Amino acid sequence: MKVSQAVPASGECRLGVAVDLTGHEAAARRPAGNAEAALSALADYLADDMLACNNEIIARMQSDVPLIPQLAAHLVAAGGKRLRPLLVFASARLAGYVPGPEAMRHVRVAACVEFIHTATLLHDDVVDNSQLRRGRESANAVFGNKASVLVGDFLFARSFQILTADGSLPVMAILSSTSATLAEGEVLQMTTQNDLGTTVEQYQEVIYGKTAALFAAACECGAVIAEASEEIRAALRAYGAALGMAFQIVDDALDYAADQAELGKTVGDDFREGKVTLPVILAYAAGTPEEQIFWKRTIEDNETQTEEDMAQALSLIARTDAIAATLRKAEDFSREACEALKVLPHGELRSLLEDVAICAVYRHR
Amino acid sequence: MKVSQAVPASGECRLGVAVDLTGHEAAARRPAGNAEAALSALADYLADDMLACNNEIIARMQSDVPLIPQLAAHLVAAGGKRLRPLLVFASARLAGYVPGPEAMRHVRVAACVEFIHTATLLHDDVVDNSQLRRGRESANAVFGNKASVLVGDFLFARSFQILTADGSLPVMAILSSTSATLAEGEVLQMTTQNDLGTTVEQYQEVIYGKTAALFAAACECGAVIAEASEEIRAALRAYGAALGMAFQIVDDALDYAADQAELGKTVGDDFREGKVTLPVILAYAAGTPEEQIFWKRTIEDNETQTEEDMAQALSLIARTDAIAATLRKAEDFSREACEALKVLPHGELRSLLEDVAICAVYRHR
């Protein structure tokens, strides 16, 4: 099943549901494209920063132990959206940061944020035994679990080495506490796994920890680098947090909706692992007693699942409009992200960030 | 086989080999006891610091996610020598640090060093699939690999949170770069595994990374907290590095020598995993061509090992006196550690640290 078959398609948006953006300041110039297009436009605007960031990442992942850069390069070469560095750069510049000829602070901090993110990806793939990442074999599939755990540790340590050399205690405070929150989010996800009693609030707590916290931190670090006021710092942090929530919710929708080839990961992974994400919470809540028994069996005792169960899950999610409801939740956060930007100066960069937030719900992967 | 059967026992020392301490300044007052006794004496001397450190560790491993303190407590409750905090305290005080009524810096830094160490233990046990740690079931055996990886990440992040709040950039520089070195050491160990071409120098590089670097860092952090001179800082760092080398070499000897119950881990693990440690390097080098074929088969293709192979390995190690030669290497480092202390003030604390170094080769576990 594809979402585009279950809900009315809207423009170019694969996951298009009827979005009511009435009254929304940015609605008038809602971009025609999808999340990929909005991110590309932002990356183009920040092309010099992104190039410097790539160079910094490659330079700083080096080690005398050859397996470390080999494994790191596997992920770096696989691309990825580099969304978090983009947020550091966009926030810093929107808050007034102008790098001098020698000032590479924004680049260093952005590389650190990406290292922390990469470290968590490496560990997540080990923890979840994932075989695919960004459409390629995952690092653990190629190099083994041991190497993935240890290179994750290395990248995490390296990021704090870079931050220490940079010397900004506020940035270190943000990124160290966010790293702790990230781990807490993953552990919380583990403990809610297979538990259909998980509430929407608990689900939100999980995805805040595992995704939104680092988005928020990336934006806040940008503001700190720009020596912005507390108000601007809080606004950018709020933007990042809401954007991260929207992105993760859409991710969770895509797990029940996307084409595997386009998503670059295995569709239905969450179901197979018994992860209690928003589509399941909503389908379960809207289900008949018989359907609830189905969910209980397949999610709480996910090892007994069959391929027919997967098809049945997709059909129940379609019948209860759970994807549409999930995406409406994502849109709430997308709107919240745009609201947060109101105190930031008007201009092309702010518009680009609004586009990213608005389009967050329109993406394939 | 026990080492005490293979080599002449000396005093109370289980792993006693003939040690020539002639000309060594500290030799005259060489303690009768073993490493445990020397460490206990040091811990008694620093009892107040150690108590404060335990409290700090328990306070700072808390989280709203209950599984995190539960898992962390499993390791903390299992005890362990708390060797690294001891080194922070001893070094700080030997370098002249006197905490005021409010000054808890030494306690915070010591707790961070122990968190970093605990994080690496958690990840190592996952990576090595170890079922025992300190004589109890390992955390991964009880809580699973996922939780162990993530709680390791949490403790690592938490340590940098504490260090950031503490605000000492030099301490952060030491501990972040040491954390990177730790990960590099583990990866290097992985890549030398199953490779009988590993040289003594490569072996030393591995154990420096996986053990000695954090010992060195603990001592150096103590010196930094005490605002000691560069000379004192370098001396304490050298002491820690040499002590760490001695400890790890003895650890590697014990893996072929100790009673399993006393060691608190499975004896022969290194052999079963095909780890190329000093006893194997030396036994292989001293082996007949036929014995070398045995080592090649069992270490380089360790999955084909049988229980008889384990017995044969122990017998070859005994025949080639590889444990005695391994311990002589440990004694070289032990002597180097004592030498490094020469620039530090005479007194009870320095004597206690010398005892720890001298006794490092005399321990059961």
Cβ of B182 within 8 Å of Cβ of A145? The answer is: no
Chain A: closest CA distance from residue B140 (Å)? 12
Angstrom distances, CA of residue A197 to CA of A33, A193, A203, A299, A322: 37, 10, 10, 11, 17
Cβ of A190 within 8 Å of Cβ of B127? The answer is: no
* Higher-confidence position of B7 and A345: A345
What percent of chain B is modeled with pLDDT above 90?
Answer: 61
Q: What is the pLDDT of residue A24?
A: 40
A182 touching B (Cβ < 8 Å):
yes
Q: What is the pLDDT of residue A165?
A: 92
Residue A327 belongs to some domain of the structure: no
**Interface probe with B: pick from A187, A198, A275, most Cβ of B within 10 Å:** A187
* Higher-confidence position of A138 and A344: A344
Query: What are the chain A neighbours of B123 within 8 Å (beta carbons)?
Result: 149-150, 153
Cβ of B149 within 8 Å of Cβ of A126? The answer is: yes
* Higher-confidence position of B29 and A299: A299
What percent of chain A is modeled with pLDDT above 70?
Answer: 86
* Higher-confidence position of B12 and B275: B275
Q: What are the backbone angles phi and psi of residue B13, rounded to the nearest 5°?
A: -80, 120
* Higher-confidence position of B192 and B75: B192
Cβ–Cβ under 8 Å, residues A317 and A279 = yes
Residue B270 belongs to some domain of the structure: yes
Tokens describing residue A254:
């895509």
Mean of the per-residue pLDDT values of chain A: 86
pLDDT level of residue B265 (50, 70, 90 thresholds): low
**Looking at the predicted structure, is the pLDDT value of residue A359 above 70?**
yes
Q: What is the pLDDT of residue A9?
A: 31
Token look-up 């609004």 returns A354
DSSP H or E segment with residue A67? helix A67-77
CB pairs under 8 A between A and B: 141
B177 touching A (Cβ < 8 Å):
yes
Sign of CA dihedral A304, A307, A311, A314: positive
B189 touching A (Cβ < 8 Å):
no
> How many whole angstroms separate alpha carbon B205 and alpha carbon B20?
26
pLDDT (mean) for A166-179: 95
Strand spans (E) along A16-62? none
> Which of A60-69, B7-16, B174-183, B291-300 is the least confident region?
B7-16
| Cα-to-chain-centroid distance, residue B339 | 20
Q: What are the backbone angles phi and psi of residue A13, rounded to the nearest 5°?
A: -80, 120
Chain B: closest CA distance from residue A53 (Å)? 21
Residue A63 belongs to some domain of the structure: yes
Cβ of B187 within 8 Å of Cβ of A147? The answer is: yes
Chain B: closest CA distance from residue A179 (Å)? 5
Residue B87 belongs to some domain of the structure: yes
Angstrom distances, CA of residue A116 to CA of A84, A120, B229, B346: 10, 6, 35, 45
**Looking at the predicted structure, is the pLDDT value of residue B223 above 60?**
yes
| Cα-to-chain-centroid distance, residue B105 | 24
A65: domain range? 24-239+341-359
Token look-up 């540790």 returns A153
**Interface probe with A: pick from B160, B162, B169, B273, most Cβ of A within 10 Å:** B160
Query: What are the chain B neighbours of A188 within 8 Å (beta carbons)?
Result: 65
B176 touching A (Cβ < 8 Å):
yes
Candidates B146, B154, B167; nearest CB to A184: B154
Token look-up 């190629």 returns A142
**Looking at the predicted structure, is the pLDDT value of residue B33 above 70?**
no
Q: What is the pLDDT of residue B90?
A: 98
**Looking at the predicted structure, is the pLDDT value of residue B11 above 50?**
no
DSSP H or E segment with residue B133? strand B132-133
**Looking at the predicted structure, is the pLDDT value of residue B16 above 70?**
no
* Higher-confidence position of B317 and B36: B317
pLDDT (mean) for A225-240: 97
* Higher-confidence position of A24 and A55: A55
Query: What are the chain A neighbours of B158 within 8 Å (beta carbons)?
Result: 176, 180
**Interface probe with B: pick from A125, A145, A156, A181, most Cβ of B within 10 Å:** A156
Angstrom distances, CA of residue A299 to CA of A72, A266, A281, B237: 34, 17, 11, 53
Chain B: closest CA distance from residue A37 (Å)? 34
**Looking at the predicted structure, is the pLDDT value of residue A296 above 60?**
yes
Chain B: closest CA distance from residue A315 (Å)? 31
Query: What are the chain B neighbours of A153 within 8 Å (beta carbons)?
Result: 119-120, 123, 152, 156, 179, 182-183, 186
pLDDT (mean) for A253-279: 77
Segment 83-142 of chain A within 8 Å of chain B by CB? 119-120, 123, 126-127
Cβ of B179 within 8 Å of Cβ of A157? The answer is: yes
pLDDT level of residue B351 (50, 70, 90 thresholds): very high
Q: What is the pLDDT of residue B34?
A: 80
Residue B364 belongs to some domain of the structure: no
Chain B: closest CA distance from residue A355 (Å)? 33
Tokens describing residue B117:
């160490």
pLDDT (mean) for B83-92: 97
Q: What is the pLDDT of residue B7?
A: 31
Cβ of A164 within 8 Å of Cβ of B172? The answer is: yes
**Looking at the predicted structure, is the pLDDT value of residue A70 above 60?**
yes
Amino acid, res. B87: L
> How many whole angstroms separate alpha carbon A277 and alpha carbon B146?
19
| Three-class HEC string of B86-127 | HHHHHHHHHCCCCCCCCCCHHHHHHHHHHHHHHHHHHHHHHH
Task: State whether residue A24 is helix, strand or coil.
Answer: coil
Segment 195-234 of chain B within 8 Å of chain A by CB? none
Tokens describing residue B328:
């002589």
Residue A308 belongs to some domain of the structure: no
DSSP H or E segment with residue A137? strand A136-137
> How many whole angstroms separate alpha carbon B271 and alpha carbon A135?
38
Residue A141 burial (CB count, 10 A): 17
Q: What is the pLDDT of residue A138?
A: 81
Query: What are the chain A neighbours of B153 within 8 Å (beta carbons)?
Result: 119-120, 123, 152, 156, 179, 182-183, 186
Strand partners, A132: A137
Nearest CA in chain B to A206: B65
Q: What is the pLDDT of residue A26?
A: 43
Q: What is the pLDDT of residue B206?
A: 95
- Nearest C-alpha neighbor of A42 from the set A365, A360, A274, A361: A360
Query: What are the chain B neighbours of A119 within 8 Å (beta carbons)?
Result: 153
Angstrom distances, CA of residue B277 to CA of A320, B5, B195, B322: 60, 21, 10, 11
Q: List pLDDT tens digits, range B159-205.
A: 999 999 999 999 999 999 999 999 999 999 988 888 999 999 999 99
What percent of chain A is modeled with pLDDT above 90?
Answer: 61
Angstrom distances, CA of residue B308 to CA of B3, B102, B304, B348: 19, 60, 11, 49
> How many whole angstroms separate alpha carbon B255 and alpha carbon B302?
16
Chain A: closest CA distance from residue B338 (Å)? 30
pLDDT (mean) for A182-194: 91
Nearest CA in chain A to B176: A161
The total number of structural domains in chain A stands at 1
> How many whole angstroms separate alpha carbon A95 and alpha carbon A236?
9
**Looking at the predicted structure, is the pLDDT value of residue B42 above 80?**
yes
| Cα-to-chain-centroid distance, residue A331 | 15
Strand partners, A309: none
B194 touching A (Cβ < 8 Å):
no
Cβ of A67 within 8 Å of Cβ of B183? The answer is: no
Q: What is the pLDDT of residue A16?
A: 38
Q: What is the pLDDT of residue A21?
A: 34
A277 touching B (Cβ < 8 Å):
no
> How many whole angstroms separate alpha carbon A288 and alpha carbon B118?
48
pLDDT (mean) for B350-361: 93
> Which of A117-131, A143-157, A330-344 is the least confident region?
A117-131
pLDDT level of residue A28 (50, 70, 90 thresholds): very low
Residue B365 belongs to some domain of the structure: no
- Longest distance between any two alpha carbons in chain A, whole Å: 66
Residue B310 belongs to some domain of the structure: yes
- CATH code (residue B112): 1.10.600.10
pLDDT level of residue A5 (50, 70, 90 thresholds): very low
Q: What is the pLDDT of residue A76?
A: 74
Cβ of B160 within 8 Å of Cβ of A169? The answer is: no
Query: What are the chain A neighbours of B173 within 8 Å (beta carbons)?
Result: 161, 164-165
* Higher-confidence position of B230 and A124: B230
Candidates B119, B160, B190; nearest CB to A160: B160
Mean of the per-residue pLDDT values of chain B: 86
Helix locations, B193-212, DSSP H:
200-207
Q: What is the pLDDT of residue B2?
A: 35
**Looking at the predicted structure, is the pLDDT value of residue B260 above 90?**
no
> How many whole angstroms separate alpha carbon A201 and alpha carbon A163?
34
Q: What is the pLDDT of residue B77?
A: 65
A343 touching B (Cβ < 8 Å):
no
Amino acid, res. B70: Q
Q: What is the pLDDT of residue A266?
A: 62
Candidates B67, B158, B176; nearest CB to A180: B158
Q: What is the pLDDT of residue B25?
A: 42
Token look-up 């108000």 returns A231
pLDDT (mean) for A35-60: 91
* Higher-confidence position of B28 and B336: B336
ipTM: 0.88
Q: What is the pLDDT of residue A100?
A: 77
**Looking at the predicted structure, is the pLDDT value of residue B132 above 80?**
no
Q: What is the pLDDT of residue A3?
A: 33
